[in-house]
């Protein structure tokens, strides 16, 4: 064989090996990548009019999909996360306050025998399931296999700050992370980078089967720290901005991995947050200063960014005023994957599939609700108790809002 021909064949082989190879899937149901940030309101996402930050990757997801204006979560961390996993509102699943189980204990934990779990539903549907990031509703020292019990095939989790274990407080630099190999510190590494790498590896391993990936980012929750991309930034506000920019960068890595694996057209990406920004941070949105409203039932605390992107399944450049809540996710995923929810439970969320996929401008909801402003739980000899007999809440239609106090 002459040299020019040999060079041409070698070059062609190199090009072929660099191109994305479509996954060999026989199941046409979509993958679901659900990204949940920790403490970030609309005033820090430029697609929603934020003026003090640029989030180009998330903006591109919004431009190529649907940006929702009325997506309600709970004003605190764990009530939102339990509503996501159970499809229930806090008054039903019981987590009406934030409660950091590894740190405070008190007998509280997410009991998969009492409440439904989204991941177990997806496993019954034949999905490979993975979770990475923040959990905080089980103590892995007590339940080392809690994530498997919840229905996840694999996991890579920050443990939460465990009582009497100072290294476990670290979620960013030198993070303390729990995997199937146990819990340990990762010196010199950055938590959310590890979580992103883990999810990409899981995508690669399970590319030939439908997947449900839940990424509960630790970012950009306090403490305000530097990031691998901006290691020298100083000051709390500048570090907050750097952390938000790093969430955008990591989102981009996940999107690129889907592209590289030939899975982009088979995947629904949902990008959202668990509650508003910490009150110590103020941003500018559409010409107005917005103080972070975490733990408050005003709009900046509970009406968070919610973007859905799925090429070929979701129209591009659409904006929706449909009323949707975090509790709708479990019933909606069940509807998309064509499975029945476990019948022994009551669900407060409803399937909002048509709104989610841009087929309807409205959802089945006449109103949506959030509840549990401020953290009013206390630990007594009887266990974890709510400080009020009746928890505060807010009801919202497209036009009106009703605030209900603790009386």
Residue 28's pLDDT is what? Answer: 86
Rg (CA), the chain: 21
Mean pLDDT rounded to a whole number for the chain: 93
Q: Give the Cα separation of 42 and 273 in Å (integer).
A: 9
Asked if the model's pLDDT at residue 26 lies above 80, the reply is: no
Give the pLDDT score at 239: 98
Contact 94, 88 (CB under 8 A): no
Q: Pick from 374, 180, 208, 197: which is nearest to 294 by CA?
A: 374
Q: Which segments of 77-190 does DSSP mark as H helices, in order?
A: 77-86, 90-93, 101-104, 118-124, 146-150
Neighbouring residues of 145: CB distance < 8 A, sequence distance ≥ 6: none
CA quadruple 138, 143, 144, 148: dihedral, nearest 10: -80
pLDDT score at 19 = 44
**pLDDT tens-digit map of 223-274:** 999 999 999 999 999 999 999 999 999 999 999 999 999 999 999 999 999 9
Give the distance from CA 110 to its chain's centroid.
Answer: 17
> Quick one: pLDDT at residue 25?
63
pLDDT at 4 over 90: no
What digits encode the pLDDT tens for the residues 34-92?
Answer: 999 999 999 999 999 999 999 999 999 999 999 999 999 999 999 999 999 999 999 99
CA–chain centroid gap for 299, Å, is: 19
pLDDT bracket for residue 3 (50, 70, 90):
very low
Which pLDDT value is given to residue 24?
59
pLDDT(13) > 50: no
Q: Order of strands across the sheet with 401-404?
A: 368-371, 393-396, 401-404
* Mean pLDDT across 280-296: 98
User: What mean pLDDT comes out for the span 213-217?
Assistant: 98
Region 100-112: what's the mean pLDDT?
A: 93
pTM, two decimals, is 0.93
Cβ(83)–Cβ(90) under 8 Å? yes
CA dist 119 and 114 (Å) reads 15
CA 371, distance to chain mean position in Å, is 19
pLDDT at 383: 84
If one counts every other C-beta atom within 10 angstroms of the C-beta of residue 8, the result is 11
Distance CA 136, CA 68 (A): 28
pLDDT (0 to 100) of residue 285: 98
Between CA 294 and CA 39 the distance in angstroms is: 7
C-alpha span between 28 and 263 (Å, rounded) = 11
């Amino acid at each position: 064989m002459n040299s020019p021909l040999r060079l041409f064949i070698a070059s062609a082989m190199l090009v072929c090996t660099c191109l994305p190879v479509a996954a060999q899937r026989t199941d046409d149901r979509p993958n679901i990548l659900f990204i949940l940030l920790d403490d970030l309101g609309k005033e820090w996402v430029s697609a929603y009019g934020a003026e003090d930050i640029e989030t180009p990757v998330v903006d591109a997801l919004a431009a190529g999909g649907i940006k929702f204006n009325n997506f309600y979560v709970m004003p605190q961390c764990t009530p939102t996360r339990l509503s996501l996993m159970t499809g229930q509102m806090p008054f039903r699943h019981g987590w009406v306050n934030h409660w950091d189980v590894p740190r405070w204990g008190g007998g509280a934990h997410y009991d998969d025998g009492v409440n439904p779990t989204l991941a177990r539903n997806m496993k019954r549907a034949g999905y490979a399931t993975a979770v990475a990031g923040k959990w905080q509703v089980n103590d892995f020292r007590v339940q080392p296999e809690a994530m498997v019990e919840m229905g996840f095939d694999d996991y890579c989790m920050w443990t939460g700050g465990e009582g009497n274990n100072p290294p476990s407080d670290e979620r960013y630099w030198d993070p303390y992370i729990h995997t199937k190999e146990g819990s340990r510190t990762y010196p010199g590494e950055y938590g959310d980078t590890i979580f992103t790498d883990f999810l990409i590896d899981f995508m690669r391993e399970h590319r030939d089967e439908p997947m449900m990936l839940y990424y509960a980012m630790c970012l950009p929750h306090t403490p305000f720290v530097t990031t691998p991309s901006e290691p020298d930034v100083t000051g709390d506000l500048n570090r907050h901005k750097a952390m938000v920019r790093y969430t955008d960068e990591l989102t981009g890595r996940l999107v690129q991995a889907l592209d590289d694996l030939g899975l982009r057209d088979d995947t629904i990406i949902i990008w959202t947050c668990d509650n508003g920004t910490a009150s110590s941070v103020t941003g500018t949105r559409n010409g107005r200063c917005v103080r972070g409203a975490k733990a408050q039932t005003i709009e900046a605390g509970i009406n968070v960014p919610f973007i859905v992107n799925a090429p070929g399944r979701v129209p591009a450049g659409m904006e929706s005023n449909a009323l949707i809540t975090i509790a709708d996710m479990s019933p909606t995923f069940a509807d998309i994957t064509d499975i029945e929810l476990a019948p022994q439970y009551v669900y407060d969320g409803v399937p909002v599939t048509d709104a989610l996929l841009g087929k309807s401008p409205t959802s089945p909801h006449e109103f949506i609700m959030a509840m549990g402003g401020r953290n009013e739980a206390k630990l007594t000899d009887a266990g974890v108790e709510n400080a009020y007999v009746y928890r505060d809440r807010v009801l919202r239609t497209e036009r009106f809002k009703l605030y209900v106090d603790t009386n």
